[in-house]
Chains A and B, each alone.
Chain A
Amino acid sequence: MSIVLRIILVVACVLTCAYTLRKIRKSQMQIEDSLYWILISFGLVIVSIFPELVEKFSELCGVGAPVNFVFLVMIFLLLLKVFLMSLKMSQMEDKMKKLVQRLTIQKYEDIKEDTESEQKVDLEACQEEWK
């Protein structure tokens, strides 16, 4: 890896970390969700400082240039993240659906109860008049 690429990577990682932490400070992100980005940034910083690590692995896998190995890992991590997000979205949609259904039924029962108690009041009023 060229020295320029390594510097760019380190700067990008520091910025990512800073941005993520800022989001936590402003209460716009949960810590659980920020861990992924912070850990990836740390990983990339380590790779940029010690490129020998990647060179070993790329040799092992038969990937020509070490930088390609870095890209490969990054693509994999991104796909993984998209998959996990899709999973989470499914579950969130399911939860939302259940909430809406609960709310809908609750509202129906409230209205039914209201009309029933109104009718009861009417009935009682009639009985009063009869007396």
Chain B
Amino acid sequence: MTKEHERDEKNMKTLIIIPAYNEAENIKRVVDNLIKDYPQYDYIVVNDGSRDDTKKICRENHYNLLDCPVNLGLAGAVQTGFVYAYENGYEAALQFDGDGQHQPQFIADMLPELMEADIVIGSRFVTESKPKSLRMLGSNVIQVCIKLTTGVKITDPTSGMRLFNRKMMEAFAYNMNYGPEPDTISYLMRCGAKVKEVQVEMLERVAGESYLNLKRSIMYMLRMCVSILLIQRFRKKWK
């Protein structure tokens, strides 16, 4: 038997990509937890030109750090991680928030699903029901948009905990308009990518400020709806 055949999800080379923008209060807790309890996964912090001590903390603790000299935005930071993951031969790349919302114990549940899917989304609402709040209304609207255009029900499209295989890594790393957002997911699903969801739990943000305020949320929703419903269908089919 060759080595390729023995390979399964347990020894899949996995990289956790942690984009961090002004996460000085959270980054140590998040990364220390990963180093201590989950040494089987590699991780890399992508500091997206933070103006606080994020970089200093990472350097002092000798974390694996990709340090962007300018602010590229969340999509650009995650993309940096994908380029690194792809070029270093990783078989799975996980997008993981630097604010401590995501919990690494669920990665083990997500990895096996990657055997049959291209993208695995860590969803809060596969078995749990969605609470009724303004934020979840937004989530529902995007869910309906995706259902309308792809026919697939994604229960938690805005979840930022997503696992990608190598094929997806390459697509996300080198192309324009591949932000790690629901609109790209819907586009890829149309192109034949398989997406699965796995039940996970998420915590509330412990410290620091959320990126999404009301104005940004409205702009985000507008962008997602227009993008998913109108723009994505005119894109050239991916491979």
| Interfacial residues, chain A to chain B (CB-CB below 8 A) | 90, 94, 97, 100-105, 107-108
Contacts and interface: CB of A to CB of B under 8 A. Distances in A.
Nearest to B44: A108
Given A105-B87, A108-B84, A97 B66 contact: no
Nearest to B65: A108
Given A107-B67, A108-B66, A97 B72 contact: yes
29 contacts: A90-B176, A94-B176, A97-B72, A97-B76, A97-B79, A100-B69, A100-B70, A100-B72, A100-B76, A100-B80, A101-B72, A101-B76, A101-B79, A102-B83, A103-B69, A104-B46, A104-B66, A104-B67, A104-B68, A104-B69, A104-B80, A105-B83, A105-B84, A105-B87, A107-B67, A108-B64, A108-B66, A108-B67, A108-B84
B176 A105 contact: no
Contacts of A101: 68, 72, 76, 79-80, 83
Interface of B: 46, 64-70, 72, 76, 79-80, 83-84, 87, 176
Contacts of A103: 69
A101 B66 CA distance: 9
A105 B86 CA distance: 12
Given A94-B176, A100-B72, A105 B67 contact: no
Contacts of B83: 101-102, 105
B76 A105 contact: no
A101 B83 CA distance: 8
Given A90-B176, A94-B176, A104-B67, 13 more contacts: A97-B79, A100-B69, A100-B76, A100-B80, A101-B76, A101-B83, A103-B69, A104-B46, A104-B66, A104-B69, A105-B66, A108-B64, A108-B84
- The list of the 8 closest CB pairs from A to B, nearest first, reads A101-B80, A104-B66, A104-B68, A97-B76, A108-B66, A94-B176, A105-B84, A101-B83
Nearest to B84: A105
Contacts of B80: 100-101, 104-105
Interface centre among B46, B70, B80, B84 (most CB of A within 10 A): B80
